[in-house]
Chain A
């Protein structure tokens, strides 16, 4: 995590009062523009609806109707976004729909003052259309002028599904795990690399998997004394299985079960080009809901 924050991307770290650092993704102009457009549409629809609603009153008392209409135009046009952000914890309707939220520079919620000021200054940001975009491009947190003055940022509130442990689709990985040297300790960085690879491997074609896995698997095969034509992909899966799913004792039991399922241990050769891998419920693999 420590190295993530120094990356050149739009992730910022927030230290909470609980002394935990977690990460936010800052929303760029092209996420925020649609939210703003939605809000603009809502503003127009609201103004229009008020006008329609006032039509009956127009016959009774045209002056009052005009008054209500102009005052509500003024209030909605200038304060719609600010008031909504103050009440709904940094979200207007557009932001709510697109999963954005305005927060303080240090990740805490904004107060009413900030919400109103940053939205009043929208006029300066839309000056010559480009002013806000230009300012956004010049700082690392995509703050427009109103954001800078109010000390706020807009973040993405992503939904991220809990995927758990990746499913292993090939029981041979478990068999191979039994052949790994028992005293081999999987280091922290290796575990990270294994997890990243196995979680993503289902998006790759077997040939591509082989190419990616080669760099890690080739030296490991030589070190373990396994036949060099062992499938690289399978080796990484078995290491992953060893590290994340089962310990050595469970390995033995699973090994027996897997042997029964597939028959005698085959050679762990590369799958022939074009052959579809066997998909099945991975033994011990956690099923995402």
Chain B
């Protein structure tokens, strides 16, 4: 058969497939075709695949071959769409993969020690006024301290600020703090900026906590400060450590790739750490919700403390119990 006859025969099919692709593409994959057309689409797609596979044997001209490549590519993208939110897969990922991955991860452990070590060191330096009188002012800065004291000078009961300002501040916390956390995670990939940001956060937060815990300050603004930060503290600080740690792990993947090439190592660790990042993002969301609605509200301190305790217990159970290496793990890894 001559090529021109072959083209004439197949042309109808290809153009029909193209029209179906157009329709799917315009709707952005949101609207499904009616069943008969879906079946037709699949059949046409397979036919186009076969034509492409045999294009060399048919000796189709190069233009037509390229057209077929594009056509099959387009149809392939419409046939295999991105998966919708799959609850079973996500819960398995978040409840099994993530804790298992995090528990034994040296980078997350190192970041945990680094962050909390710096935090407590800085807090102690800021707290111990007789020995280091200048520390808190130097680190936080005079104006910042003024601003902090101004911010927490009144008790947090939701009364004086009024509901309006409260809601506005809640929005601000979500926008600002969760943003910082996500930034922390993104820059972790670049190692040096990531470490700098983590160190800065730890030092600054530690100094603020230490300063507010000083006996003279605690009597006035300090207790309001702790009243505010207690409830969302566990989730937010854990999320910062987790995202910085997984960022550091990715950074290490390209700095010390071992037997892999740098690109391959980054891709390999990226595949493993993506769920961890996602869980950090979810933690930021939870922290932001608590921070936005519970922390600035006039709820009693015992309620906020209870929330903090419950979230700490949840986190310990999550990473400690779900993450504890199980016997099946070696098997699972051997299988994978």
Contact = CB atoms under 8 A, between A and B. Distances in A.
Interface of A: 1, 14, 16, 18, 20, 22-24, 61-64, 66-71, 73-74, 77-78, 85-91, 96, 101, 103, 105, 107-117, 120-124, 127, 131, 138-139, 143, 145, 148-151, 155, 157-166, 188, 191-192, 195-196, 199, 243-247, 284, 286
Contacts of B270: 117, 148-151
A240 B238 CA distance: 71
A158 B281 contact: no
Nearest to B166: A63
B186 A123 contact: yes
A127 B76 contact: no
Contact of A23 (B15, B73, B80): B73
A124 B278 contact: no
B229 to A, nearest CB: 20
A107 B76 contact: yes
Contacts of B271: 151
21 contacts: A23-B69, A62-B168, A63-B163, A63-B164, A66-B167, A77-B179, A87-B30, A89-B82, A112-B85, A117-B274, A121-B186, A124-B190, A139-B263, A161-B67, A188-B56, A192-B62, A199-B61, A199-B63, A243-B59, A286-B4, A286-B7
Interface size class of B (residues with CB under 8 A): 35 or more
Interface of B: 2-4, 7-8, 11, 14-15, 28-30, 45-46, 49-50, 52-53, 55-56, 59, 61-74, 76-77, 80-83, 85, 93, 162-168, 170-172, 174-175, 178-179, 182-183, 185-187, 189-190, 193, 250, 263, 266-267, 269-271, 273-275, 277-278, 281, 292
Closest 8 CB pairs of A and B: A63-B164, A149-B270, A70-B171, A123-B186, A67-B171, A195-B61, A66-B168, A63-B167
A151 B267 contact: yes
With most chain A CB atoms within 10 A of its CB, the pick from B2, B7, B170 is B2
B80 A108 contact: yes
Query: Per DSSP, are chain B's interface residues mostly helix, strand or loop, or mixed?
Result: helix
